[in-house]
Chain A
Amino acid sequence: MIVDSLVFPCRDLVERLDAAGIDRAVLCPPRARGETYAQLNDRVAVAARALPDRLVAFCRVDPLVPGAVGEARRALGQLGCRGLFLHPWEDAFRVTDRAVDPLCALGAPVIVATGYPWVAEALQVAELARRHPGTTFVATNGGQLNISGLGQTDAELAVASTPNLHLQTAGVYREDFLEGIVARHGAERLLFASACPVFDPRLELLRVMWAPAFTDADQAAILAGNAERLLG
């Protein structure tokens, strides 16, 4: 069983998942361009209902837009979305902004697009997670998007200090970083994700499948068990 903990809608999504051998995926709305997040939440919910064995829907809101909490409640309730996806960079808000707190207090798991300077750095996401110890947080991209590896120390500090924070694997080119997170903090802190179509699921899967230090149990947890436990 392989669960991709982050994908976005695209025309050939199922074909891409099939090509990589991915069984299920968490479908999150893309950035709203000319549409509201309510419309996009409806759309991912419909897609997930059409393929209930393959897709799980998460909803998305812009916390600074009035009515965001109400829309999140609607999506998590009526639409059956299993969690919340926040993208501070694309929606231009600081993840530690107090407007985010009521969303995190809803109790659903929260995936945060992480690694973006000024608004969604690993330690900022950790600070948000620390305010809400009863909520599960998942940071995308290993908590850092830096081709020099400069964000790795902050990302690991975030994991070490915040037990309710987990990292996704998408786009993390440093094998030693992924292996180090598992060795020092446990395989239960890492979730496979491809962020398809941003990244290529066939390549992203190899970051877990070919990491020499991962045991079979590690792989099973990273590829599916953690996502099933944390994200439903």
Chain B
Amino acid sequence: MHVDHLPALGWELEAAACVRRLDEAGIDKGVVMTIVDAPEVNPDALELIANACAAFPGRLEAFARLHPWYDEAVELLERAISGYGFKGLKLHPVTTIAHPAVEETLRLIRAAAARGAPTLFHCGDEPLTTPLAIARAAEACPQATIVLGHMGGYFHVDEAIETAERLPNLMLESSAMPYPAKIREAVVRLGPERVLFASDGPACSPRIELEKVRLAGLEPQAERLVLGGNARRLLERVR
């Protein structure tokens, strides 16, 4: 989910809106991150997210969305995890135009992995974000857990599943991707412990995204892992 203040886009993505939407859907906890890539645009982006989580204890966890090109990015990640209790790294190559497999990006992924924290990539149809581009990063950082957010978007879902079959450090995340049947296929081919539910709220509907997983028709135990067990495991291992 996203929390941010972006007057240029006319967006006010409030933590309270995230929690309200979680409540509407009956979701216990959400992971929030900014739209901007710290320190670009908003040097205080980490504090924005830390304050959002502090305002709703037990409901929101934080990922640090960072821009790999900035020298201080690793230091910011360290501060986020050690100082504010963030649980992961978010990278969005559409907004940073930093390729997933260039050294500037890899150093961040490695720094996150050293703390046991996963890296969530936006993974869609745009250049720099395709499963095969992110796979190059996963190959270079086999110790890192890398999550393919949106599991390939509209046209790269099959490739996301195939790539994750080949690389055991990849996981798939279900938000926005519009095919319930592909969630089931991913669970069958990868195992239920490698697929994560997400909503991309509050602009997307957590209630609909949750129903999408239910329409996948998973076995109860697999559904429990996808809807919470897997995320809890990832969040708890950050040190």
* Chain A interface residues toward B at CB < 8 A: 145-150, 171, 173-176, 199-200, 202-204, 206-207, 210-211
Q: Which of B92, B155, B200, B215 contacts A173 (CB 8 A)?
A: B200
Q: How far is the CB of B124 from chain A (nearest CB, A)?
A: 4
Chain B residues with Cβ below 8 Å from A176 are: 203
* Interface residue SS majority, chain B: loop
Within 8 A of A (CB), among B100-136: 122, 124-126, 129
Flag whether B150 is at the interface (Cβ < 8 A): yes
Given contacts A146-B125, A147-B176, contact A210 B94 (CB under 8 A): no
Q: Which of A147, A171, A199, A207 contacts B208 (CB 8 A)?
A: A207
Residues of chain B having any CB pair with chain A under 8 Å: 92, 94, 122, 124-126, 129, 150, 153-155, 175-181, 200, 203-205, 207-208, 211-212, 215
Q: Are B124 and A148 in contact (CB under 8 A)?
A: yes
Q: Which of chain B's residues have a CB closer than 8 A to the CB of A199? A: 178-179
Give A200 to B92 CA distance when docked, in angstroms: 28
**For the complex, what is the distance from the CA of A181 to the CA of B122, rounded to whole Å?**
25
CA–CA, A219 and B94, complex, Å: 34
A200:B180 contact, CB within 8 angstroms: yes
Minimum Cβ distance to chain B for residue A122 (Å): 15
Residues on A with C-beta less than 8 A from B94 are 148, 150
Q: When the two chains form the complex, which single residue of A146, A171, A211 contacts B178, counting CB atoms closer than 8 Å? A: A171
Inter-subunit contact A200/B179 (CB<8 Å): yes
Which chain A residue has the least Cβ–Cβ distance from B203? Answer: A176
Q: What B residues does A145 contact at CB under 8 A?
A: 125, 154-155
Residues of B within 8 A of A207 (CB): 205, 208
Known: A175-B203, A203-B180. A147 touches B125 (CB 8 A): yes
**Docked-complex contact A174 and B126, CB < 8 angstroms:** no
Taking CB atoms, residues of chain A closer than 8 Å to B181 are 200
> Complex formed: what's the CA distance from A176 to B176 in Å?
13
Nearest CB in chain B: distance from A210 CB, A? 6
30 contacts between A and B (CB under 8 A): A145-B125, A145-B154, A146-B124, A147-B126, A147-B150, A147-B154, A147-B177, A148-B94, A148-B124, A149-B203, A150-B94, A171-B154, A173-B175, A173-B176, A173-B177, A173-B178, A173-B200, A174-B203, A200-B215, A202-B180, A203-B178, A203-B208, A203-B211, A203-B212, A206-B205, A206-B211, A207-B205, A210-B205, A210-B207, A210-B208
